[in-house]
Amino acid sequence: MQQSRSPKDHTISPRRSSFDLRAALARDWHGDSAFRTAWFNALSMMVPYGERFFIDSVNEFLDEIDDPRLTSEVHAFLVQEANHLRQHRAVNKLLCDVRGYDMQAIEGPILRRAEWTRRKVPAIRRLAGTAANEHLTAVLVADMLRHDDLFRDADPGMAELWYWHGVEEIEHKSVAFDVYQAAGGSLKDRRLVQIFGTIFFLSGTFRILCLMLKHDGKLWSLHEWASGFKFLFVKPGLLRRAFVPYFRFLRKDFHPWQDDDRYLIDEWEAKRQSV
C-alpha cells in the first residue's frame, strides 16, 4: 500500500555538519542587532525539544506504516532530526556559556510543557502537532532559502547553520504528515492542533527572546523592538511572508508537496560545492 506521497524521484539525505560558532555567539551576530540575534538564538533554544517531540511522536506510529518507501523516509527523517537536535543542543550550551544566559530558566517551562503534553495529549494529536509544526518550519525555511534578505549582514557561520537545517526540513517536510494520514488522523485534529501548536511555538520563542534581551539590558529598548517588528512583519517580513502558505495547512486536500520547492535544495547544494 502506497502511503508516501512525496515526489517519486525525491530522496532524503542526512548530512553531518559541524560549525565553529564560539566567536559569533559571543556577540550580536545578526547585523549587530540585539533583537534579530536574540530571535534566532531563541529559535535555536526551542529546536532540541521540538525535535525530540517530533521523533517520539512519529516513533509511536511505526506499526501503522505498510509502505517500504515511507518506512525508509521515516528512518531518514529520524536521523536528520536527531542530527539537528545534537547540533542545536551544542550551540545552545555554547551560547549560554559565552553570554551567561540561564539555561535552567530557559529550559524549565519547555520541559514542563513537554511533560504535560506527553501525559495529557493523545498520541494521535501529538502526531498531528508534529505534522503542523513541520509545515510551519518548512514554510519559514523555504522563505529563508528563497530570499537573501533574512541573513543579510549576519555571521556567515550562523547563516550556514540555519541553511543546513532548513534544507533538511524541506527534504522531510511530508514525512510526519504522511505518517499521520496512514495512522488515520482526522482533519479536525489537524486543524485544531495547528493553531495551538503555533501559539506554543511563538509564545515560547518570544519568552526566551525576552529573557535574552533582559540579560543583555535591551528588554526595554524601543529601538530594538521597533527594528524587530520591522524585521518580522514589514521588511523583510519573515512572519508576514509566511502568513498565506502557513494557512494552506487548513485545507482539506492539503499535502506538503503541493509546493515542490526542491529547487531550493539544489541551489544550496550548488553554492556549497562551489565554496
> For residue 246, what is the domain's CATH number?
1.10.620
Non-local (6+) Cβ contacts of 131 within 8 A are 176, 177, 179, 180, 185, 190
Q: Is residue 242 part of a domain?
A: yes
Q: Is residue 203 part of a domain?
A: yes
pLDDT tens for the chain, residues 1 to 275: 799 999 999 999 999 888 999 999 999 999 999 999 999 999 999 999 999 999 999 999 999 999 999 999 999 999 999 999 999 999 999 999 999 999 999 999 999 999 999 999 999 999 999 999 999 999 999 999 999 999 999 999 999 999 999 999 999 999 999 999 999 999 999 999 999 999 999 999 999 999 999 999 999 999 999 999 999 999 999 999 999 999 999 999 999 999 999 999 999 999 988 86
Contact 80, 168 (CB under 8 A): yes
pTM: 0.96
Q: Is residue 6 part of a domain?
A: no
Query: Any long-range contacts for 193-200 (C-beta under 8 Å, 24+ apart)?
Result: 193/125, 193/128, 193/129, 193/132, 194/128, 194/132, 194/135, 194/136, 194/249, 194/250, 196/129, 197/129, 197/132, 197/133, 197/136, 198/132, 198/133, 198/136, 198/246, 200/113
Q: Is residue 132 part of a domain?
A: yes
Q: Is residue 111 part of a domain?
A: yes
Q: Looking at the 3D structure of the chain, how many domains does it have?
A: 1
Q: Is residue 12 part of a domain?
A: no
Range of the domain at 195: 22-274
Q: Is residue 7 part of a domain?
A: no
Q: Is residue 62 part of a domain?
A: yes
